[in-house]
Amino acid sequence: MRPHAHWHLNHGRNKNRWWAAAVVAALVLVAVVALQVRAFAGGGGPGDALDASNRCGTPLECAQQAQGPTFGAEPAASEASGRAVAVVEASCGALLYGQREDVRLKPASLTKIATALVAYERSDLEASVNVRVNSGLLVASTGSTVMGLKPGVELTMRDLMHGLLLVSGNDAAIAIAEEVAGTTSRFVELMNAKAAELGLSDTHFTNPHGLDEAGLYTTAYEVALLGRALLAEPELAGIVSATSYQATWEGPLLYNGNALLERYPGAVGVKIGYTEGAGQTIVAAAERDGRRLIVTVLGSLDRYADAIALFDWAFENTQPSC
């Protein structure tokens, strides 16, 4: 065979190979686009949550079905000081980012989120409550944070709810529990029933205030869903977003201990906590451009820095997943 004929033959083969490769690449591209369209249109993947949400059982099951993809790199807060973190899409409860988000840990005063939910469902916020709790004795015996209740004081349930969620008063938690259920132990049963109703299988309460006890635990993801449930109640959402409140007493103005409300633009709550066993804890919510996210940090050394880093990353690097 002549050299130039050999070149033409090889050239033809190379040309055929090039066209075959091009056809394969085009087919792959079409398949990828089709899968993306199907996923985001509800035909597969995350989009299925839109239809599946009508078939799910508990709120946790609905949230799990609505899990959406995370876009962009992991947050710088992947080195956060917290032992566990979760970033949740408030609109449906989808987990956008988590680290050890399903590990059972002590919640500290995040427990009061469940206390508020149960009390709100089972009492009238305008009802008068005859307080039996002595906050002075409570401080002396447990070192509790209190709103300053004394036996015989008459306050509304709304006043006590502000003392519970703003000041994080353990005295308010006990007063609420006794008013709603007669005893704190019966109230705790209602709290655990509420957790079960929400499908929170890794959450268990032993008291209404959050002081460390054996058997008191939750996870970063599940307590975020508790925070989401609280925010779904407009009156409770209004309480946790308030920076101060004047109760119907001669006592002092009640101030919100959640400094994130003033430190982060768009912050709307929810609750902070601390015990020696739990470390710093927070369930935080913030809004930007019509979107609301919930961040949980458990066992933190600096809950505000951790929460801010997670919010900044999530708002800048993720898209609504439901």
Asked if 307 and 217 sit in the same domain, the reply is yes
* 223/300 Cα distance (integer angstroms): 15
What is the pLDDT at residue 169? Answer: 98
Q: Same domain for 18 and 103?
A: no
Domain presence at residue 232 = yes
pLDDT digits (tens, 9 = 90+) for 288-317: 999 999 999 999 999 999 999 999 999 999
Task: Look at residue 56 and tell me if it is in a domain.
Answer: no
Annotation says 144 is catalytic: no
Statement to judge: residues 65 and 37 lie in one domain: no
Q: What is the CATH number of the domain that holds 70?
A: 3.40.710.10
If asked whether residues 37 and 67 sit together in one domain, one would say: no
Structural domain boundaries enclosing 146: 61-317
The reply to whether 28 and 135 lie within a common domain is no
Q: Same domain for 18 and 82? A: no
pLDDT value for 322? 82
Q: Residue 144: inside a domain, yes or no?
A: yes
User: Would you call 194 a catalytic residue per the annotation?
Assistant: no
pLDDT of residue 168: 98
Of 112, 123, 144, 271, which is the active-site residue? 112
Mean pLDDT over the full length of the chain: 84
The answer to whether residue 212 sits within a structural domain is yes
pLDDT digits (tens, 9 = 90+) for 219-234: 999 999 999 999 999 9
Active-site position among 106, 109, 144, 271:
109
Domains in the chain: how many in total? 2
- The secondary structure of the chain, three-state, reads CCHHHHHHHHHHHHHHHHHHHHHHHHHHHHHHHHHHHHHHCCCCHHHHHHHHCCCCCCHHHHHHHCCCCCCCCCCHHHHCCCCEEEEEECCCCCEEEEECCCCCECCHHHHHHHHHHHHHHHCCCCCEEECCCCHHHHHHHHCCCCCCCCCCCEEEHHHHHHHHHCCCCHHHHHHHHHHHHCCHHHHHHHHHHHHHHCCCCCCECCCCCCCCCCCCEECHHHHHHHHHHHHCCHHHHHHHCCCEECCCCCCCCEECCCCHHHHCCCEEEEEEEEECCCEEEEEEEEEECCEEEEEEEEEECCHHHHHHHHHHHHHHHCCCCC
Out of 123, 135, 144, 168, pick the active-site residue. Answer: 168
Q: What is the pLDDT of residue 321?
A: 77
Q: Are residues 34 and 68 in the same domain?
A: no
Quick check: 194 and 286 in contact, CB under 8 A? no
Would you say residue 156 lies in a domain? yes
Say if 87 falls within a structural domain. yes
Residue 78 annotated to the active site: no
Looking at the fold, whether 118 and 182 belong to one and the same domain comes out as yes
- In the prediction, which pLDDT does 27 show? 42
Q: Does residue 55 form part of some domain? A: no
Answer yes or no: is 266 within a domain. yes
For the chain, list residues with pLDDT below 50.
1-55, 68-72, 77
**Do 100 and 12 share a structural domain?**
no
